[in-house]
Chain A
Amino acid sequence: AQRVTQPEKLLSVFKGAPVELKCNYSYSGSPELFWYVQYSRQRLQLLLRHISRESIKGFTADLNKGETSFHLKKPFAQEEDSAMYYCALKYGQGAQKLVFGQGTRLTINP
């Protein structure tokens, strides 16, 4: 069965420090992975997807099929990055059914 694991519920780093939010997945098919973010008092929104291979707000994520990981990285954290981050895996045929990890609350300290 498909599963997404985010091992860290809480992550705290100082402004300007590098950030890495870990995500591991389990899926027998060809994975399609996403990072969603929820800022304080806002709704859940897409941050990036692995197929795009783009940088959004300075964040990047590389799919590593050998390690079944999709870690989210940013070289220099900013205070506005403080939020809840969810890794998600698309599964099944057709529709975009997503399975989410438990989420990591990222806090950037000034």
Chain B
Amino acid sequence: DTGVSQDPRHKITKRGQNVTFRCDPISEHNRLYWYRQTLGQGPEFLTYFQNEAQLEKSRLLSDRFSAERPKGSFSTLEIQRTEQGDSAMYLCASSLETTYEQYFGPGTRLTVT
């Protein structure tokens, strides 16, 4: 296990299409977070899971966004009917419930044309 992995690393899609991203956390980490980062900004919190339960969603997460973590391991983030404003870097992070440090993945860069 070499850390948090994300797939794909880059995604180009046309407006209106659906996209899905995957995040594989560090294996023993029970918390998983999604962030979005636009150009020139820091990451913004979207949602987090503890095991398979999605415990909180940011108001940034519109109805077109859905995230799952079905078995408490990997997670998927789906964006339906993509818009140009969805273009961003989507970051995943994981942590243990008992520690403060979040370990980030390399991110998935989404470009909506």
Binding site for B on A (CB under 8 A): 4, 9, 32, 34, 43-46, 49, 51, 86, 88, 90, 92, 94-103
A43 in contact with B31 (CB, 8 Å) = no
B106 in contact with A99 (CB, 8 Å) = no
Counting residue pairs across A and B whose Cβ atoms lie within 8 Å, the total is 54
Q: Give the shortest distance, in Å, between A93 (CB) and chain B (any CB).
A: 10
Binding site for A on B (CB under 8 A): 3-4, 31, 33, 40-45, 48, 50, 55-56, 91, 95, 100-107
Chain B contacts of A46 at CB under 8 A?
A: 101-102
- Bound CA–CA A88/B44 (angstroms): 10
Residue in chain A with minimal CB distance to B55:
A95
A43 in contact with B102 (CB, 8 Å) = no
B41 in contact with A97 (CB, 8 Å) = no
Specify the main secondary structure of chain A where it touches its partner.
strand
| Beyond A43-B3, A44-B43, A92-B56, 10 extra complex contacts between A and B, CB < 8 Å | A32-B100, A43-B104, A43-B106, A88-B42, A90-B100, A95-B55, A98-B45, A99-B44, A99-B45, A100-B44
User: Given the known A-B contacts A43-B107, A44-B91, are A96 and B43 also in contact in the complex, defined by CB atoms under 8 Å?
Assistant: no
A95 in contact with B50 (CB, 8 Å) = yes
A43 in contact with B105 (CB, 8 Å) = yes
With beta carbons under 8 angstroms apart, the residue of B31, B41, B107 that contacts A96 is B31
A49 in contact with B104 (CB, 8 Å) = no
With beta carbons under 8 angstroms apart, the residue of B42, B56, B95 that contacts A86 is B42
A95 in contact with B48 (CB, 8 Å) = yes
Chain B contacts of A99 at CB under 8 A?
A: 44-45
Chain B contacts of A90 at CB under 8 A?
A: 100
- Bound CA–CA A90/B101 (angstroms): 11
User: Given the known A-B contacts A43-B106, A43-B107, A46-B101, are A95 and B31 also in contact in the complex, defined by CB atoms under 8 Å?
Assistant: yes
- Bound CA–CA A97/B59 (angstroms): 14
